[in-house]
Amino acid sequence: MGYFNMPLHVRSIAVSIAVICFFCLGIVAWVSGLAPFICCKRAMAGAVIAYIAAVCAVRVINAILTSAMITSQIKRRKEKDSGGGH
């Protein structure tokens, strides 16, 4: 039953997105010619923001998926009850 509570794993998805964002922002800052410390600060700030955004997005997606599953189960039970027990 744990599957129905949380269809997508929030932490693993958010960490993956944050790591990708960290390296992408770090590379962009480095290519732009910024100092290594500034590259690191900007990449870390971007990764934190990406992590927070990913957590929020995945939670919204989970809420939508859970609602859809509940609605589907309710509809299926109503059809079964009104179908005469077939």
Percentage of the chain modeled with pLDDT above 90? 64
Residues listed for the chain? 86
pTM, two decimal places: 0.76
Domain ranges for the chain, please list them: 10-82
Task: Tell me the three state secondary structure of residue 51.
Answer: helix
Percentage of the chain lying above the pLDDT 70 cut:
90
Q: What pLDDT is recorded for position 85?
A: 53
62 Cβ neighbours under 8 A, 6+ residues apart: 6, 7, 8, 10
**Statement: residue 80 has pLDDT above 80:** yes
pLDDT in tens, 13-41: 999 999 999 999 999 999 999 999 999 99
Residue 71 has pLDDT above 80, yes or no: yes
